């Protein structure tokens, strides 16, 4: 997420002395048999548990599933309401209603599909139909806590 917003959060690895040292290290020690961060992993051996040293790279995921089921629930139910979906004619209203219902009741995590449907539905109204969400809906979503507009 930091890189998506032109922010660099890996400051310790960008220290000038660290970068200059890294440039002097032979390529074979920086990358070995497609094993990334080979030297860093070796340097941390004995200091970090094996499980951490050998785990795959993890990304930072936003809590979209929770937002859609809680803070943004009214917005989701409004934008993806059967009436609105039927009017747009893009999706099967029954299928969308099932996804929303299962997600809100926490029977299944449909956050990826719902997120995509939300954006497509809003885009469709704003671009194709030239209707702003404000005109199409009386309810406006509050941003989830801790997020900036």
Residue range(s) defining the domain that contains residue 115 = 64-136
User: What residue has token string 């048999």?
Assistant: 33
For the chain, how many structural domains are there in total? 2
Same domain (yes/no): 18, 77? no
**Is 69 exposed, middle or buried, given 0-12, 13-18 or 19+ CB atoms closer than 10 A?**
buried
Greater confidence, 137 or 111?
111
Give the pLDDT of residue 59.
73
Instruction: Quote the pTM value.
Output: 0.54
Same domain (yes/no): 90, 112? yes
pLDDT-based confidence at 149, cuts 50/70/90?
Answer: very low
Whether 149 is covered by a domain: the verdict is no
**Is 106 exposed, middle or buried, given 0-12, 13-18 or 19+ CB atoms closer than 10 A?**
exposed
Maximum separation of any 2 CA atoms in the chain, in Å = 64
Same domain (yes/no): 15, 72? no
**CA 68 vs CA 102, 116, 140: distances in Å:** 12, 12, 14
Euclidean distance between CA atoms 90 and 139, whole angstroms: 22
Q: How many CB atoms lie within 10 A of CB 115?
A: 17
Same domain (yes/no): 103, 84? yes
pLDDT tens, 45-79?
Answer: 999 999 988 888 777 778 999 999 999 999 999 99
Whether 144 is covered by a domain: the verdict is no
């Amino acid at each position: 997420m930091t890189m998506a917003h032109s922010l660099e959060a890996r400051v310790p690895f960008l220290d000038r002395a660290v970068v200059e040292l890294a440039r002097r290290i032979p390529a074979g020690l920086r990358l070995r048999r497609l094993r990334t961060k080979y030297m860093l992993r070796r340097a941390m051996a004995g200091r970090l548990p094996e499980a951490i040293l050998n785990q795959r790279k993890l990304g930072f995921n936003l809590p979209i599933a929770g937002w859609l089921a809680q803070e943004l629930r009214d917005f989701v139910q409004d934008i993806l309401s059967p009436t609105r979906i039927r009017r747009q004619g893009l999706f099967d209203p029954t299928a969308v209603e099932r996804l929303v219902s299962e997600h809100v009741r926490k029977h299944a995590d449909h956050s990826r599909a719902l997120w995509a449907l939300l954006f497509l539905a809003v885009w469709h109204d704003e671009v194709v139909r030239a209707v702003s969400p404000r005109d199409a809906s009386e309810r406006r979503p509050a941003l989830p806590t801790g997020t900036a507009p």
